[in-house]
């Protein structure tokens, strides 16, 4: 069944619901690739560095929220860069539908990093997460819309062990309720790293994370392209929202693309030890 993930403020955003939940990822990568979708590459760089800062990858679990077909897992746990991921799925375009999973599974197995972290994926798109699990990208998956209903016991168990919660391309689809549910289930408070479109108001989520005892920092100067605007109404709506929020749209105008900022939330002790500008400032420099 196609998913229609469109909260109100996404009304002018191109609708990719038809590719989010297909039996395999080829339509997703084909469609998003045409718009230069690149946010998973930025996300993986951030998550990788944060894992270092948390003492290394060993024994760590990453919960990828709105994981889709788990591009973030592919980039974090495999010797694979985003352009190769696009090339790989393009090379599978002519493969028989029932052969794709096995070809993909083998492709990833040959590229698995020895220091892979445990990956848990959460998404409302059941086909996408189950596909990602079947090819080995996810160690556990949760199919749920936590904006609509609270998590069941199994989902809570999957969230409990998360050390790092990451989001690319998902803020706006999900909001306060999702973060509340995840953090309420956590054994220990995880770190949260969210790449969020600049025209989306992150402050309600920030307040929720604050209420739950995490300290959130906005990485000043960090602004990375997510993907090109799909069409003129989408561009106009994004620029209008940026204007409303008082954000200078210079980069969006220059690149003709949605751009994302970065919020990192940590337990107070970790936040006190080193400001996020020291940990990730080098990513903001360019
Ligand atoms: C742009 S895709 C991002 C996928 C992946 N993170 C990436 O960067 O390639 C957005 C994802 O959000 C998921 N999504 C939309 N609404 C959701 C909800 N309420 N709960 C969980 N996932 C949701 C969609 O199914 C889709 O997989």
Per-residue pLDDT tens over the stretch 141-184: 999 999 999 999 999 999 999 999 999 999 999 999 999 999 99
207 CB-near residues (< 8 Å, 6+ apart): 176
* Mean local confidence (pLDDT), 227-256: 96
Q: How far is CA 53 from CA 2, 111, 189, 198, 228, in A?
A: 39, 24, 16, 26, 32
* Mean local confidence (pLDDT), 212-227: 97
Per-residue pLDDT tens over the stretch 178-209: 999 999 999 999 999 999 999 999 999 999 99
Per-residue pLDDT tens over the stretch 95-135: 999 999 999 999 999 999 999 999 999 999 999 999 999 99
Concatenating the DSSP letter of every residue in 63-118 gives EEET-TTTHHHHHHHBS--HHHHHHHHHHTTTS-GGGHHHHHHHHHHTTB-TTPPE
Task: Evaluate if residue 1 carries a pLDDT over 60.
Answer: no
* Mean local confidence (pLDDT), 213-224: 97
CATH number of this structure's domain 13-284, picked from the four choices 3.40.605.10, 3.40.50.150, 3.40.50.10190, 2.120.10.30: 3.40.50.150
Per-residue pLDDT tens over the stretch 25-38: 999 999 999 999 99
Which structure tokens are listed for 29? Answer: 């990568």
Task: Evaluate if residue 252 carries a pLDDT over 50.
Answer: yes
Task: Evaluate if residue 2 carries a pLDDT over 60.
Answer: no
pLDDT of residue 286: 59
Task: Evaluate if residue 9 carries a pLDDT over 80.
Answer: no
Is the CB of 51 within 6 Å of ligand 1?
Answer: no
* Mean local confidence (pLDDT), 68-87: 98
**d(CA 66, ligand 1 centre) in Å:** 4
Could you identify the residue written with the tokens 């039996």?
Answer: 23
Atom of ligand 1 at shortest distance to CA of 122? 21
Is the CB of 71 within 6 Å of ligand 1?
Answer: yes
Domain ranges within the chain, ordered by starting residue:
13-284
pLDDT of residue 3: 42
In whole angstroms, give the CA distance from residue 240 to residue 233.
10
Pairing state between β 224-228 and 215-218 = unpaired
Q: What is the mean pLDDT of the chain?
A: 95
89, 124, 131, 147, best to mutate for ligand 1 pocket (most atoms within 8 Å of CB): 124
* Mean local confidence (pLDDT), 222-246: 96
Is the CB of 44 within 6 Å of ligand 1?
Answer: no
Is the CB of 33 within 6 Å of ligand 1?
Answer: no
Which structure tokens are listed for 209? Answer: 């994370």
Can you list the alpha helix ranges (DSSP code H) found in 114-168? 126-134, 153-160
């Amino acid at each position: 069944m196609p998913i229609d993930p469109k909260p109100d403020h996404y009304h002018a955003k191109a609708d990719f619901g038809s590719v989010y939940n297909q039996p395999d990822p080829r339509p997703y990568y084909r469609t998003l690739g045409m718009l230069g979708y690149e946010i998973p590459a930025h996300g993986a760089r951030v998550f990788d560095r944060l894992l270092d800062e948390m003492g290394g990858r060993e024994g760590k679990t990453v919960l990828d929220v709105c994981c889709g077909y788990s591009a973030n897992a592919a980039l974090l746990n495999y010797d694979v860069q985003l352009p190769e991921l696009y090339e790989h799925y393009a090379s599978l375009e002519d493969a028989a539908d029932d052969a794709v999973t096995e070809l993909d599974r083998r492709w990833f197995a040959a590229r698995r990093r020895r220091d892979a972290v445990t990956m848990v994926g959460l998404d409302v798109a059941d086909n996408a997460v189950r596909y990602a699990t079947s090819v080995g990208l996810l160690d556990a998956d949760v199919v749920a819309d936590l904006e609509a209903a609270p998590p069941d016991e199994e989902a809570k168990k999957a969230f409990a062990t998360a050390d790092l919660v990451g989001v690319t391309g998902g803020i706006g689809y999900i909001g306060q309720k999702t973060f509340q549910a995840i953090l309420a289930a956590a054994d220990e408070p995880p770190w949260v790293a969210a790449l969020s479109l600049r025209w989306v108001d992150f402050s309600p989520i920030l307040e929720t994370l604050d209420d739950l005892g995490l300290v959130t920092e906005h990485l000043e100067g960090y602004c990375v392209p997510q993907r090109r605007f799909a069409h003129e109404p989408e561009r106009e709506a994004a620029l209008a929202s940026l204007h409303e929020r008082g954000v200078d749209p210079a980069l969006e105008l220059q690149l003709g693309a949605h751009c994302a900022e970065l919020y990192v939330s940590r337990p107070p002790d970790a936040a006190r030890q080193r400001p996020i500008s020291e940990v990730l400032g080098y990513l903001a420099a360019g």
